[in-house]
């Protein structure tokens, strides 16, 4: 086991090396959630089907900066499944589908995305304590805005605004659609019961798709690299500590979100638990998180307290977020190997 644990540690060292050599922590271009564990397929397609169960449904909603004239609202719905083909002795495959919607500003500038994903989950040892998964995601994205809600300087004449005045602006179109592809891989090592370490790396928009409303082919979406590390360990009979960090790099922008949660086990039989935590999006927000789990249902809420220069407009009010995940697990009926004769026979 020493070599396998070192294998994971190598990636951990590489992650922190990336953080040390890049000190410009800004907001990424892509849609993202503060509770990145509440939308794992958005985080990395390798997490498709990577759960204990057969089917999983997930939804997450975010409302940000509602106190200013340009609020952001985002939600994501996803469903995935894990299958074990008869031809595979121990490995599994995962398949999933996901829809994302994001809308912001007075012009309702919005993004709609529909993705399908697939993964291959492989056991690196017999007892399943070390798992490796890799996945790919393909989909289409539609981005657009409502031109009729826009106003321009040229429409103000003699200090009077008129929508009938010429705007002086020209858009070839107010919506565009393009294909998108992402892929990723992840490792998970189970140290003991309730203790594990997980690392994943994913690469998004690797075809560098065009995003333009004026047929300018030089305007493209930058590829994004996600690094995710999670470590969970029991610090008491019914208390666990969960530490996470997400590092994203896209174009000239970087985002780092470290944090930790304390999880309290209330009922071992039903796996009922509550968790509280604090995270920090560098140079942007402090994130308070609260989670709840019972059986295969997991839910979480969070609130961002804005700490960036935008506090002049937000008064430190950031974003509210909520997610729910439910896993369906088939109950395999018990079938005795031998028939038991009734006592009266």
For the segment 146-171, what is each residue's pLDDT rounded down to a tens digit? 877 777 777 787 777 777 777 777 67
Query: What's the angle, vertex CA 91, arms to CA 88 and CA 96, rounded to 5?
Result: 105
Which are the contacts of 299, defined by CB distance < 8 A and separation ≥ 6? 291, 292, 293, 322, 323, 324, 325
Please determine, looking at this structure, whether the domain spanning 2-328 carries the CATH number 2.40.160.40: yes
Q: What contacts 343, CB < 8 A, 6 or more positions away?
A: none
What are the angstrom distances between the C-alpha of 59 and each of 6, 125, 261, 268? 35, 33, 21, 26
- Entry pTM: 0.83
**What are the residues facing 243 on neighbouring strands?**
231, 260
User: Helix count (H) and strand count (E) of the chain?
Assistant: 3, 16
- pLDDT the model gives residue 90: 82
| Bridge partners of residue 285, in order along the sequence | 281, 306
Contact 112, 142 (CB under 8 A): yes
pLDDT, one tens digit per residue, over 72-107 is 899 999 999 999 888 888 899 999 999 999 988 777
Indicate the DSSP class of residue 210: B
CB atoms within 10 A of CB 286: 16
For residues 165 and 132, the answer to whether their CB atoms sit within 8 Å is: no
- The parts of the chain modelled with pLDDT lower than 70 are 1-29, 66-69, 170, 310-316, 332-345
DSSP-based three-state secondary structure for 148: helix
228: helix, strand or coil:
strand
> CA-to-CA distance for 209 and 29, rounded, in angstroms?
14
Sign of the Cα torsion 153, 157, 162, 164 reads negative
Burial class (CB in 10 A: 0-12, 13-18, 19+), 101: middle
Calculate the dihedral angle through the C-alpha atoms of 193, 78, 296, 44, rounding to the nearest 10 degrees.
Answer: 0
> CA distances (Å), 260 to each of 8, 230, 340, in order?
20, 9, 53
Determine contact, residues 185/195, Cβ cutoff 8 Å: no
| Residue 93 to residue 79: CA distance in whole angstroms | 14
Q: Is the dihedral of CA 287, 292, 295, 297 positive or negative?
A: negative
Half-sphere exposure of 3 (CA within 13 A, CB side): 2
- Give the pLDDT score at 18: 38
48-66: per-residue pLDDT in tens?
999 999 999 999 999 987 6
Beta bridge partners of 231: 197, 243
Token output for 206: 């690797």
**Gyration radius (Cα) of the chain, Å:** 24
């Amino acid at each position: 086991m020493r070599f396998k644990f070192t294998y994971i540690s190598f990636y951990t060292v590489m992650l922190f090396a990336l953080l040390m050599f890049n000190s410009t922590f800004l907001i990424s271009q892509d849609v993202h959630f503060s509770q990145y564990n509440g939308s794992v397929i958005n985080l990395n397609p390798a997490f498709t089907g990577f759960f204990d169960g057969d089917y999983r449904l997930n939804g997450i909603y975010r409302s940000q900066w509602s106190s200013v004239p340009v609020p952001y609202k985002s939600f994501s719905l996803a469903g995935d499944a894990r299958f074990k083909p008869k031809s595979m002795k121990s490995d599994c495959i995962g398949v999933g589908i996901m829809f994302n919607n994001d809308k912001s500003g007075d012009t309702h500038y919005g993004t709609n995305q529909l993705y399908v994903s697939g993964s291959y989950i492989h056991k690196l040892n017999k007892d399943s304590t070390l798992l490796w998964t890799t996945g790919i995601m393909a989909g289409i994205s539609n981005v657009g805005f409502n031109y009729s809600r826009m106003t321009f300087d040229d429409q103000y004449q003699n200090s009077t605004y008129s929508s009938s005045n010429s705007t002086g602006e020209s858009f070839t179109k107010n919506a565009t659609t393009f294909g998108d592809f992402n892929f990723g891989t992840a490792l998970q090592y189970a140290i003991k019961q309730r203790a594990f370490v997980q690392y994943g790396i994913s690469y998004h928009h690797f075809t560098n798709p065009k995003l333009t409303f004026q047929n300018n082919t030089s305007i493209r979406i930058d590829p994004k690299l996600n690094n995710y590390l999670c470590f969970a360990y029991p610090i008491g009979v019914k208390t666990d500590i969960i530490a996470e960090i997400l590092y994203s790099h896209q174009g000239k922008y970087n985002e780092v979100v470290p944090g930790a949660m304390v999880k309290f086990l209330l009922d071992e039989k039903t796996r009922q638990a509550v968790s509280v935590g604090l995270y920090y999006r560098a140079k942007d927000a402090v994130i308070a998180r609260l989670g709840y789990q019972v059986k295969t249902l997991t839910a979480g809420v969070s609130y961002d307290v804005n700490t960036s220069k935008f506090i002049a407009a937000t008064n430190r009010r950031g974003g509210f977020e909520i997610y729910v995940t439910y896993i369906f697990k088939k109950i395999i009926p018990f079938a005795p190997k031998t028939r038991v004769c009734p006592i009266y026979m």
